[in-house]
Structure 1
């Protein structure tokens, strides 16, 4: 019988980062793993940051749909 390789979870097939605009018009990077993210003045800067965080891995960065509002929710450690 043949061996079976490791199973990939559904979540591992999703992009790690989403780039879009918040309700103020700032460009936002949201990390699915809640490790990093931020607000940017341009789409180019946001995509550059996200791509660098994932070593330019293909498919790791996606753009939110046009008109979709993306909000950055900061976690405050207390």
Structure 2
């Protein structure tokens, strides 16, 4: 029996064109459908998108930073 991974194949990041890892999104421009980003070495660039998914994980974290709760809107579900 074939597993999903063996049927679909397993792609490594260096084999997939136009894949960027470990970027910091600095701005989202929904009117232009562009995300402005910075790489680990400080290079700034823009990434165009058709659909944008913001997936921060299963639980928001404040990392102990003062004022986060007062100035943040935590997304709990897709309707927010």
Compute the TM-score of the two structures, normalised by the length of structure 1: 0.30
Which is higher, the Rg of structure 1 or of structure 2?
2
Highest RCO, 1 vs 2 (Cα 8 Å, sep ≥ 6): 1
Compute the TM-score of the two structures, normalised by the length of structure 2: 0.29
